[in-house]
Amino acid sequence: MSNNLKALGLRKSFGDIRAVDGVDLVVPAGQVLGFLGPNGAGKSTTMKLVTGFLEPDAGSVEICGDDLLAKPLAAKRHIGYLPEGAPAYPDMTVMEYLSFLASIRELTGATHKSALERGFSLLHLEPVAHQTIETLSKGFKRRVGLAAALLHDPPLLILDEPTDGLDPNQKHEVRMLIRELGQKKTIVLSTHILEEVEAVCDRAVIINRGRVEFDGTPQQLDAKAPADVTSNRLEWVFRDITSTDLQMQGGLK
């Protein structure tokens, strides 16, 4: 099976801080990877590195066989990216915004139209099509961001906290959508919500202080908790892997 995302030895420092310290992410087609870690662990930075927003200090990124540094335009065409916080132009209507992105993604004529229709119906955006983005609720904004990432039907989706700010119904819907899309596409999503990993991911990667601390299936992650832990088992493992020594002494565990 081909690897839609192949990032090897990624390193990135900001001043003295090593945000990403030797991360490998090789994700085959049809896999949904949950990217976990405490705040500041390097999740968003890693995503910025594999989408080409930031350049790594060291390491390589290959998207569907195209090297991101050598052939940035070709590589970027394969990616649909939802940045952290789902940024969008507040003064544009949802229709204008998605239409702008479809045009710049070189979708024209009938493909342009059908891409928009698909985006609107997948994310149920029809009621807000002509509302400006600044007037939308957090949930709708996030859905606009998701629609924007999906427009050009990319083989690789990088989603930074796709369900953040959604209500439980919307969360459920987005998870269903991710699972459905995950049958054909490669999806890397970051989240704080561990149940989400069980619900939608085939694979979980936990990163802490810029390093990969766990890489396996959600079942393997679950198996790391001792048998006497009966509830919130994933949370137990997550804390076990990512807590600092200080926190452990403080009795967090």
Partner 1 sequence: MKAIRIIFKREFASYFNTPLAAVFLVIFLFMCGIFTFQLGGLFDRGQADLRPFFNFHPWLYLFLVPAVAMRLWAEERRLGTVELLMTLPVNMRDLVLGKFLAAWAFLAVALAMTFPIWLTVSYLGNPDHGVIITSYLGSLLMAGAFLAIGSALSALTKNQVIAFVLCVVVCFGMLFSGFPLVLDFFGGWLPAFAIEAIASLSFLTHYEALSKGVIDLRDVLYFALVTGVFLYINALILDWKKAA
How far, in Å, CA of 6 to CA of 101, rounded? 26
Encoded tokens for 43: 């999740």
Pick one of 76, 118, 179, 192: the residue that binds partner 1 (CB under 8 A): 76
Q: Using CB under 8 A, which residues numbered 181 to 210 contact partner 1?
A: none
Tell the smallest beta-carbon distance from residue 203 to partner 1 (Å): 23
Of residues 116 through 175, those in contact with partner 1 by CB under 8 A are 132, 148
Q: How far is the CB of 18 from partner 1 (least distance, A)?
A: 15
Helix residue spans in 105-201 (DSSP H): 109-122, 138-150, 168-182, 194-200
Q: Which SS3 state, helix, strand or coil, does residue 32 take?
A: strand
**Residues in contact with 180: Cβ distance below 8 Å, sequence separation at least 6, in sequence order:** none
Provide the token pair at 243.
Answer: 């807590």
Tell me which DSSP letter residue 174 carries. Answer: H
By beta-carbon proximity to partner 1, the closer residue of 158 and 204 is: 158
Q: Is 52 in the site for partner 1 (CB under 8 A)?
A: yes
Helix (H/G/I), strand (E/B), else coil: 70: coil
To partner 1, the closest distance from the beta carbon of 91 in angstroms equals 4
Nearer to partner 1 (CB atom), residue 45 or residue 242: 45
Which residue's CB is nearer to partner 1, number 91 or number 195? 91
Choosing from 8, 26, 29, 74, the residue that interacts with partner 1 (CB under 8 A) is 74
Residues 6+ apart with CB under 8 A from 97: 88, 89, 133, 144, 148
Length of the chain as a residue count: 253
Residues that bind partner 1 (CB under 8 A): 14, 48, 51-55, 72-74, 76-77, 79, 81, 83-85, 87-92, 96, 100-101, 103-106, 132, 148
